[in-house]
Structure 1
Amino acid sequence: MARWLVISDNHGDRTILEQLRHQLAPDRVFHCGDSEMTVDDPWFQNTWVVRGNMDRDQRFPLTATPKVDGSQVLLVHGHHDAVNWDLTQLALHAQAEQAQAVFFGHTHELAVELVHGCLFLNPGSISQPRGEFRTLGGTCALVTVTAKNWQVQYYTRDGQPVRKLNFTFPRATQKG
């Protein structure tokens, strides 16, 4: 079992990143871009991170495709995959990478679904939320990875779980 923190769109608010990493104590951390920080910031040590459309540091990669805890992950911001419109382009990208989990941001709206055995997750913006759940004041997601499931729990900026935003999806152990 592993706990993965997925966070996005903090837009320069470094303090919230430190607080949530400390409070939620994840095993792995994924940042979906628009940090507006520099790639050499110590917070990014032991973190997979990508460049968003508001990140000026060109040293951030546009995509990351780590194999983590036995799962192929695709990490993007989403602006190059047209996520504002639908997930078609992102799904094709995921298929090309043989991803079992896709983490993305950009829209500032949380979302999670399982499509053809692949987990698609947007943690929402931790600092500038939009959409149906904007009144929560910002969200991130903690994914508990087990041998059989993805357990997704959304958290607010103050590290509190949102009870109605708790989901379990079956996890494919091998993409084929």
Structure 2
Amino acid sequence: MSKVLIVSDSHGLTKELEVLRERHINEVDMMIHCGDSQLTPDDKSISGYLTVMGNCDFSGGYPLETISEVSGRKFFITHGHRYSVKTSLMNLKYRAQEVNADVVCFGHSHILSAEVIDDTLFLNPGSIRLPREPMEKTYVILDLLEEKIKLSVFEMNGKEMAELAREFTLPK
């Protein structure tokens, strides 16, 4: 079993990223930042996060998208602005199919969401700086089990929002 922490849209926050890293470093196998950190890649606050470039990341140095594998599940990570995710997940779904992704992590809208489309989990962890829905500053931890993925949502202070926990059955 593996765990993955996903955060997005921190827009210049540094201490918060360090707090998340310290809080979860010993329990997760990978930490993902879905862009708009507004930090340079050599900033110690973002160290340890697999990070992509968002539309507000002007310093460069991050890829626009990346792919990583954890526990046999292929993760596709992008910020989402180039796929018009505020309007529809259609463009992102096509890209996920092209790269054969099991899990798609994205940000941009600052809206926490998780849904399965054609056996692929599309996940937006919300924002830890400027959340839109829910209004809490959120991040997500995924438990990758054999046939299931368990999603847990946390507030920035570490409190789990148990009412938002979900389980997804995905073929491996």
What is the TM-score with the length of structure 2 in the denominator? 0.95
CA displacement at 1:47 relative to structure 2: 2.4
In structure 2, C-alpha distance between the alignment counterparts of 1:47 and 1:20, rounded to whole Å: 10
In structure 1, C-alpha distance between the alignment counterparts of 2:144 and 2:43, rounded to whole Å: 27
Partner amino acid, structure 1, of 2:148 = N
Partner amino acid, structure 2, of 1:71 = R
Contact persistence 2:17–2:46 (CA under 8 A):
no
CA displacement at 1:42 relative to structure 2: 3.0
RMSD: 1.1
Aligned length: 170
Gaps of 5+ in 2: none
The Cα offsets for residues 111-161 of structure 1, whole Å up to 9 and x where unpaired, read as: 001111111000000111003x11x2x100000111111100010010110
What is the TM-score with the length of structure 1 in the denominator? 0.93
CA displacement at 1:95 relative to structure 2: 0.4
Name the structure 1 match of 2:3: 3
CA displacement at 1:27 relative to structure 2: 1.9
Name the structure 1 match of 2:106: 104
Name the structure 2 match of 1:62: 64
In structure 1, C-alpha distance between the alignment counterparts of 2:164 and 2:87, rounded to whole Å: 23
Contact persistence 1:24–1:159 (CA under 8 A):
no
Contact persistence 2:39–2:46 (CA under 8 A):
no
Name the structure 2 match of 1:129: 131
In structure 2, C-alpha distance between the alignment counterparts of 1:159 and 1:20, rounded to whole Å: 8
CA displacement at 1:171 relative to structure 2: 2.5
Gaps of 5+ in 1: none
In structure 2, C-alpha distance between the alignment counterparts of 1:125 and 1:45, rounded to whole Å: 19
Name the structure 1 match of 2:145: 146
In structure 2, C-alpha distance between the alignment counterparts of 1:45 and 1:21, rounded to whole Å: 9
Identity of aligned residues (%): 34
The Cα offsets for residues 151-176 of structure 1, whole Å up to 9 and x where unpaired, read as: 00010010110011100001321xxx
Name the structure 2 match of 1:115: 117
Name the structure 2 match of 1:22: 22
In structure 1, C-alpha distance between the alignment counterparts of 2:77 and 2:40, rounded to whole Å: 18
The Cα offsets for residues 7-61 of structure 1, whole Å up to 9 and x where unpaired, read as: 0000111111111122233221010000010112234444211000000122110
